[in-house]
Amino acid sequence: MTSISKPGLRPANPNFSSGPCAKRPGWSLQALEKAALGRSHRAKIGKTKLEQAIDLTREILKVPADYRIGIVPASDTGAVEMALWSLLGQRGVDMVAWESFGAGWITDVVKQLKLADVRKFEASYGELPDLTKIDFDRDVVFTWNGTTSGVRVANGDFIPADRQGLTICDATSAAFAQNLDFPKLDVVTFSWQKVLGGEGAHGMLILSPRAVERLESYKPAWPLPKIFRLTSNGKLIEGIFKGETINTPSMLAVEDYLDALLWAKSIGGLEGLMARADANFAVIDRFVAESAWAGHLAVEPATRSNTSVCLSIVDPEFQALDADAQATFAKGMVAALDKEGVAYDIGAYRDAPSGLRIWAGATVEASDLQALMPWLDWAFASQKAALKAAA
């Protein structure tokens, strides 16, 4: 088999996983030296740090002053499930999905909550459903950025200001990289390990006044486990939104989130974070524009994610392969890049079309993505040469 020349430059940081994502530039364990380890999260030092995490989240994301922000268990998944189980059932719900996590929320609502009045709006990987068909007099559940498809909503213009229902938005790979339109959103969830590169385990739940009103006026027909309860005696448990977490948080993870938030503030807050993600996406976008074999999975340019960038392989010989052979080819590329130590964890999500998924969030350096692009060509050429040799 012909040997394919390897590029001379390697990324300084090969961590391009879509979650947990790369740590901020310059991060080290020394950033966690002031963690409140061995202390109660209810003690003054622990509660102060939790309150600081909430306050910095509000400042950097520009969350309206009358919205509540809480730290909750079980990452973004826990935050979304709390919203679904606590808020849905008062009226019909429109479920909107175009990738695996949105599809998962549909499954939970239909098969676990067993709601009767559910409408589903779904699209295949790479596309958005017809958002004009959504009825916002009903509750609506959707992801802002499809982590496993690389498809996002361009903005919140499709959501009316005078809606009657609640909008529940899974924003886990959008928060801190895309401009969330909070007045159009009643519930926003995300986790620490995405755009800011924090540690896993904890989620964030942001509630509008309309969502709080629903919680205090509507009681679901099903029992709620303690880990999901946001109200007591018909009133919001305000302490949850002041750092009094439902269960014990990791103060080490809290310290890491604080470090990430302070870094975000130091680079210009939300604008600085979005600019870094946009610049990172631009590196990949230029590569795709010049490539004979790589394409964007997201069909419409306006809907292409600037964080979870999903690439398809458009080479005719690859397209002629059956699904199993395509999967083997793409996995071979990923394995070769991993073995060379130039890119870790960039395979497409297991339910998505065979291809690559490269994280381009704010903690990634554009210079590392620039160094990676020639390696993508190398990995593709190597796999194609191996395919021809085996024919």
Query: How many Cβ atoms are within 10 Å of 269's Cβ, its own excluded?
Result: 17
Among 242, 265, 288, identify where a domain stops. Answer: 265
Among 265, 288, 308, identify where a domain stops. Answer: 265
Residues 210 and 338 in one domain: no
By DSSP bridging, strand 93-97 and strand 118-122 are parallel
CB-count exposure of residue 299 (10 Å: 0-12, 13-18, 19+):
middle
Among the listed residues 338, 344, 337, the one whose alpha carbon sits nearest the alpha carbon of residue 377? 337
Residues 258 and 273 in one domain: no
Residues 6 or more apart whose Cβ sits within 8 Å of residue 368: 11, 12, 13, 14, 16
Among the listed residues 22, 28, 125, the one whose alpha carbon sits nearest the alpha carbon of residue 343? 22
CATH code of residue 317? 3.90.1150.10
Per-residue pLDDT of the chain (391 residues; tens, 9 = 90+): 457 899 999 999 999 999 999 999 999 999 999 999 999 999 999 999 999 999 999 999 999 999 999 999 999 999 999 999 999 999 999 999 999 999 999 999 999 999 999 999 999 999 999 999 999 999 999 999 999 999 999 999 999 999 999 999 999 999 999 999 999 999 999 999 999 999 999 999 999 999 999 999 999 999 999 999 999 999 999 999 999 999 999 999 999 999 999 999 999 999 999 999 999 999 999 999 999 999 999 999 999 999 999 999 999 999 999 999 999 999 999 999 999 999 999 999 999 999 999 999 999 999 999 999 999 999 999 999 999 898 7
Asked if 41 contacts 255 with a C-beta cutoff of 8 angstroms, the reply is no
Among 265, 299, 318, identify where a domain stops. Answer: 265
**For the chain, first and last CA: distance in Å?**
12
Residues β-bridged to residue 207: 68, 187
301: domain range?
269-390
Residues 293 and 238 in one domain: no
Does 246 reside within a domain? Answer: yes
Does the N-terminal peptide bond of residue 20 adopt cis geometry, omega within 30 degrees of 0? yes
Q: How many structural domains is the chain composed of? A: 2
Whole-prediction pTM value?
0.97
